[in-house]
């Protein structure tokens, strides 16, 4: 089994509270760590710019089977950039059964958190809010999550990664598809290393 297939068959534990299925990269330009388009599973689709060769995507559903969710996080004003950004921890609330499940927390998920460096970004500051479609303002979305991994995640010289490769992602993305207008948006793009 190649490394990418291994990561697609064993997603990060942060999505273990959901039903998931491996997905193709959404047709949307996404941020990442490097400068060249990645070949392989993204061929023919909008590029992810990066030298990190491993990118996985998963469509999420609630345990009850519903695919519509409300994405919640924190709206934080970044004084350096002058922009308000959406930061973790993130939860999804099922549109059918109202179950709230943690999706991602920068303090406990991703490479830096697992290697003991703590969250590499601000977290849980600002106003708790719900993500809304940038097109129509509606809050129920289908959710696809993406994980980018560094090329050395399977390196034998990185023994701390052995058996934990699927949790050592360096970039986390949430792509939403609005249930009302079908607009596809990158709701979250966050560095984790």
In sequence order, the 6+-apart residues with CB closer than 8 A to the CB of 15 are 58, 60, 103, 145
Degrees (nearest 5) of the Cα angle 75, 76, 82?
120
- Model confidence band, residue 160 (pLDDT cutoffs 50, 70, 90): low
**pLDDT tops 50 at residue 145:** yes
CB 158 within 8 A of CB 176: no
CA distance 179 to 71: 13
Percent of the chain with pLDDT over 90: 52
Spatial distance between the Cα atoms of 119 and 9, rounded to a whole number of angstroms: 26
Q: How far apart are the first and last CA of the chain?
A: 26
Q: Tell me: the pLDDT tens digits for 41-100?
A: 444 444 344 445 688 999 999 999 999 999 999 999 989 999 888 899 999 999 999 999
139-167: average pLDDT: 82
The Cα angle at residue 55 between residues 177 and 106, in degrees rounded to 5: 75
Per-residue pLDDT tens for 77-87?
Answer: 989 999 888 89
Nearest to 42 by CA among 33, 29, 34: 29
Contact 8, 56 (CB under 8 A): yes
pLDDT value, residue 34: 44
Q: What is the pLDDT of residue 159?
A: 65
Q: Does 155 or 106 have the greater pLDDT score?
A: 106
Task: Dump pLDDT digits (tens) for 102-132.
Answer: 999 999 999 888 888 877 778 888 889 999 9
The confidence score (pLDDT) of residue 2 equals 75
């Amino acid at each position: 089994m190649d490394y990418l297939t291994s990561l697609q068959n064993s997603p990060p534990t942060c999505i273990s509270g959901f039903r998931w299925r491996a997905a193709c990269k959404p047709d949307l330009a996404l941020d990442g760590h490097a400068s060249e388009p990645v070949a392989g599973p993204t061929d023919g689709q909008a590029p992810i710019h990066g030298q990190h060769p491993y990118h996985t995507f998963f469509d999420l559903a609630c345990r009850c089977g519903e695919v519509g969710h409300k994405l919640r996080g924190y709206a934080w004003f970044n004084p350096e950039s002058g922009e308000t950004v959406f930061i973790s921890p993130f939860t999804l609330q099922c549109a059918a059964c109202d179950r709230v499940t943690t999706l991602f927390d920068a303090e406990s998920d991703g490479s830096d958190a697992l290697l003991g460096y703590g969250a590499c970004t601000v977290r849980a500051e600002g106003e708790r809010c719900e993500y809304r479609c940038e097109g129509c303002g509606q809050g129920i979305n289908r959710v696809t999550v993406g994980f980018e991994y560094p090329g050395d995640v399977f390196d034998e010289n990185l023994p701390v990664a052995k058996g934990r490769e699927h949790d050592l992602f360096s970039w986390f993305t949430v792509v939403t598809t609005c249930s009302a207008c079908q607009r596809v948006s990158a709701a979250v793009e966050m560095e984790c290393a």
